[in-house]
Amino acid sequence: MGDASMTRGETGTGQRRRWRDPGLPGVLALCGVAVLIHIIPLLLPRNMPEQELAIARATPDPAHRVRFLLPLKNNEKSTPANLREAAELLLSGAPAEAHELVEEADRRHPEDMETLLLMARVCDVERMERCVQQSLERAEKAAPTDPRPQLLRADLREQNGDVEGATQALQRAHAQAPTDTFLALRYGRLLSRTGKPEEAMAVFRAMEGKLTHARLLVEQGLVRAKEGRDRDAVKLLQEAVQSDPKLAEGHFELGLAWFRLGNEIAAEDALRQADRLDVSNQEPLATLCALQLKTGQIEAARTSRMDLERRFPQRMDAIRERCTLP
């Protein structure tokens, strides 16, 4: 009797174990079901642009997206927004096909600002300068008071090394939108880069009340630093960090200015303060490490690098490039 009970108990346990552990065939069956769930939608008839766009977004290689996206050109249900998104998804790997899609968006909705701006970007990737200019001119004509065509013109010219042309485009954009803080900042910085410090300072002074006083002082300090007037830069940056002691950018730029003036102790203090205020940013400590190497403080640099590697293990390559120990 006892043996029979034991046998039944063992049999029940074995059944439960087999239920819990389906074995390799069961695992393969489950995997097959999962694969089918993902493949079946691809085999079903599709004529909605959103379906093709969703598949293309999940396809990492732009060249492989073409077969899903190019047919949208002939799909009557494709909106200009659908066609623009498809062109964006193809831009980095298949610019010719992106061009076809954005041309179709333009045909369906002529003079649309978003389409014309995208057309200019596509043409720039294709090195079609005449097409770039025509697209931007059409965009400017379609919306004479919109600064975006000039802003894109500035972007493209700066990318191609034409800083003077970028500055002129930003000047026009700034005139169209004088209250736009982003435009004013970028315009002032480019004026400084092109050797027009007083014009840059005038732009920043006109921004009083739109940015904090401390941030404006940092921008003005950078203009003076660009001129080589580091003593004036230090005064402005010191005033900035006194106005806002938690402004990490101010301490960082102050550290660089002090170093250029030869005050290594003050430079290190400012950079360490910037590091304490923004522990997620590796730049202050990496800069300190580079400066320590430059002045022959090898052991100090070694300590800084160890701290960087401990805090930013995912950025080892960048750290080693910035702080290369002998």
CATH number, domain containing residue 74: 1.25.40
Side-chain half-sphere of 14: how many Cα atoms within 13 Å?
A: 6
**Does residue 22 sit within a domain?**
no
Domain boundary among 95, 110, 144: 144
Structural domain includes residue 31: no
Give the span between the Cα atoms of 194 and 201, in whole angstroms: 13
Whether residue 39 is contained in a domain is answered as: no
The boundaries of the domain holding residue 288 are 282-326
Domain count of the fold of the chain: 2
Q: Does residue 154 lie in a domain region?
A: no
**236 falls within a domain:** no
User: Does residue 296 fall inside a structural domain?
Assistant: yes
User: Domain end: 112, 144, 176, which one?
Assistant: 144
In-domain check, residue 70: yes
CB atoms within 10 A of CB 133: 13
How far is C-alpha 168 from the geometric centre of its chain's CA atoms?
25
Grade residue 84 by pLDDT with cuts at 50, 70 and 90. Answer: very high
Asked whether residue 196 is assigned to any structural domain, the reply reads no
259-304 pLDDT, tens digit per residue, is 999 999 999 999 999 999 999 999 999 999 999 999 999 999 999 9
Q: Tell me the pLDDT tens digit for each residue of 192-245.
A: 999 999 999 999 999 999 999 999 999 999 999 999 999 999 999 999 999 999
The residue among 76, 110, 144 that closes a domain is 144
How sure is the predictor about 33, in pLDDT bands with cuts at 50, 70 and 90?
low
